[in-house]
Amino acid sequence: MTETSRKLTTIFSADVQDYTRLMRNDEEGTLATLKRYRDAMARLIEAHGGRVINTWGDGVFAEFPSVVEALRAAIDVQNELAGYNASSDSDTQMLFRIGLNLGDVIAEGNDIYGDGVNIAARLQACAVAGGIVISNTVYDQVRNKVAVGFDFLGQLEVKNIDGGVPSYAVRIGASQTDSSPTHPRSVREQAPSTPTTIVEAAVRGERSYGVLAVIAAGLVALNILTWHGEFWAAWPVLGITMAAGLRWARTNTQFDRRLATFAVVGAGLVGVNFLSWHGTPWVIWPLLGLAVLAGIRWVKRQRGDI
């Protein structure tokens, strides 16, 4: 029986966008192109110290001992394949999506298994054609070592991974397609783009909340200065508060975004009921509906269905 063990490794997962359509249009031509592209990928993976584990269907699955070299290999792959596609018609171009994840996996012979592998596959499925998506574990290791930009995509929901996985799109850029794909310095010499990090996103979020707070305060001041016995500013302030709450629910990384949205909507309904009070607590019915939806969502998450 093959012995199993655990190890930390960088998983590289790639597949072809619209492979079914390409096969339907030209089976023999698509298979010939796939073989050519796979050979190029295998060469670049090995040049960066990686190992091809499997090639099933239209996919390529590899691992790297170095996180930095895994990303460099992925960038070089996309650059070289972009050169191949440049000489093809748009209908016959073969575009790969690549996902990278650093995780603890189970090794058995030449194969690896576990959540780390599943996350890499999910990241790949979220990438644009010709693009690369990486997990936060990869980002933490490469952000100051590889001269490319990163766009924070938020929490990627992965089955059996509570809270999701923060993910980033690698901003390769058109200027990088002319660099030599096999030279180890090709990535380092590319002009860096301005990275979009979690900190920068948080700063922009805080600024937008600050702007909304200033607007709300201005409306309250205007209401007081033009007072005619009615506090009309309560309604626009409630709307601004709801907008800020929904923005927070969409961008937060600590709680389930859908549950957070339910909570914000429920709080907003309570505010509407309070401001339009005529002795009837009608808000209990929509709150009950939101509670049922939140309960269903929570149960599905516990079961790993989402």
Q: CATH number, domain at 14? A: 3.30.70.1230
10-14, 174-178, 188-192, range with the lowest pLDDT? 188-192
Give pLDDT tens digits for 11-36: 999 999 989 889 998 999 999 999 99
| Cβ neighbours of 57 (radius 10 Å) | 9
Task: Name the residue with tokens 């860096």.
Answer: 192
Give pLDDT tens digits for 122-132: 999 889 999 99
179 in any annotated domain:
no
Separation between Cα atoms, residue 149 and residue 143, nearest integer Å: 8
More confident residue, 220 or 178: 220
- Is pLDDT at 202 greater than 60 in this prediction? no
Give pLDDT tens digits for 150-159: 999 888 877 7
Query: Tell me, what's the pLDDT at 251?
Result: 66
User: Per-residue pLDDT averaged across 179-188, rounded?
Assistant: 36
How many structural domains compose the chain? 2
180 in any annotated domain:
no
143/231 same-domain check: no
Looking only at Cα atoms, what is the longest distance across the chain?
85
Cβ proximity of 167 and 140 under 8 Å: no
Separation between Cα atoms, residue 111 and residue 98, nearest integer Å: 19
**Reported confidence tier of residue 254, pLDDT bands at 50, 70, 90:** low
Give pLDDT tens digits for 55-64: 888 889 999 9
Cβ proximity of 102 and 138 under 8 Å: yes
246-251: list long-range contacts, CB under 8 Å, 24+ apart.
247/205, 247/208, 247/209, 248/205, 248/209, 251/154, 251/201, 251/205
155/31 same-domain check: yes
142-146, 178-182, 205-209, range with the lowest pLDDT? 178-182
Query: Tell me, what's the pLDDT at 180?
Result: 36
Cβ proximity of 133 and 168 under 8 Å: yes
The closest of 265, 15, 7 to 129, measured between CA atoms, is 15
Separation between Cα atoms, residue 206 and residue 107, nearest integer Å: 44
Q: Give the DSSP H/E element, type plus range, for residue 51.
A: strand 51-54
Query: Tell me, what's the pLDDT at 43?
Result: 95
149 in any annotated domain:
yes
User: Per-residue pLDDT averaged across 260-289, rounded?
Assistant: 91
Range of the domain at 64: 4-171
- Is pLDDT at 194 greater than 70 in this prediction? no
Task: Name the residue with tokens 């923005």.
Answer: 247
28 in any annotated domain:
yes
More confident residue, 1 or 2: 2
- 132-135 and 60-64 beta bridge pairing: unpaired
Query: Tell me, what's the pLDDT at 89?
Result: 83
201 in any annotated domain:
no
More confident residue, 62 or 295: 62
Residue 61, burial from CB neighbour count under 10 angstroms (0-12, 13-18, 19+): buried
145-154, 176-185, 247-256, range with the lowest pLDDT? 176-185
193 in any annotated domain:
no
**Reported confidence tier of residue 120, pLDDT bands at 50, 70, 90:** very high
147/57 same-domain check: yes
- Is pLDDT at 176 greater than 60 in this prediction? no
Query: Tell me, what's the pLDDT at 92?
Result: 85
189 in any annotated domain:
no
